[in-house]
Chain A
């Protein structure tokens, strides 16, 4: 399952989600300001506290809204 780590009022997070919807990619969203668990996961994956972060396997991830990298990550 594709996971998107985000926070509210984050324009690039919105762009990622819109893009995934457009490409019919199902994803699960994690608000890291609401959930300490999600925040810890984010840190484990990316070593930082910035969003959006998109990942499938928790190892390879894309920061920000980068169409090229997202396509590569998701095999689009």
Chain B
């Protein structure tokens, strides 16, 4: 079983075979489904634009399992929505990424790369952990996806080589991405 064995649904309702991405470096990320252009979406788009020519593809999987608001953030309330969250990388249909109904791809990804803790040096790590302990303590258990913007790196052979929690910024993944390109 590998990443290329999975078929997923795009945000236009079409079926997509992940085997179509053979030979590319993939950054698979579960994204917030709230409309808007959060900082992580912006950084993911930047990464995509920077390394696209060299073979990086970012694949975004929106999910609404993680409430609406980034904990501890004071996002300005924008009164409009950005089409496709303002990104140009492929987006897939909104679906579960944790729990019993998690889509098969994500069950596979967390089995390949378990949870190794949050990056405690990140300023938001403490806030996120406290928030989860209080509101969604069951999310902290096991290898499951903990929150929006959990990222997985897949090498050109389809192997899951890295997992990065929401507290790891897309920008900080550049070094690891370059090693795979």
Which residues of A come within 8 Å of B, CB atoms? 7, 9-13, 32-34, 39, 42, 49-52, 63-65
Contact = CB atoms under 8 A, between A and B. Distances in A.
Decide if the interface of chain B is mainly helix, strand, loop or mixed.
loop
Interface string B39-82: 00000000000000000000000000000000000000001111
A49 B12 contact: no
B141 interface: no
B84 interface: yes
B79 A49 contact: no
A33 B80 contact: no
A51 B81 contact: yes
B83 A39 contact: yes
B11 interface: yes
Contacts of A42: 83
13 contacts: A9-B81, A11-B35, A12-B80, A33-B12, A33-B83, A42-B83, A49-B82, A49-B84, A50-B80, A50-B81, A51-B83, A52-B80, A52-B81
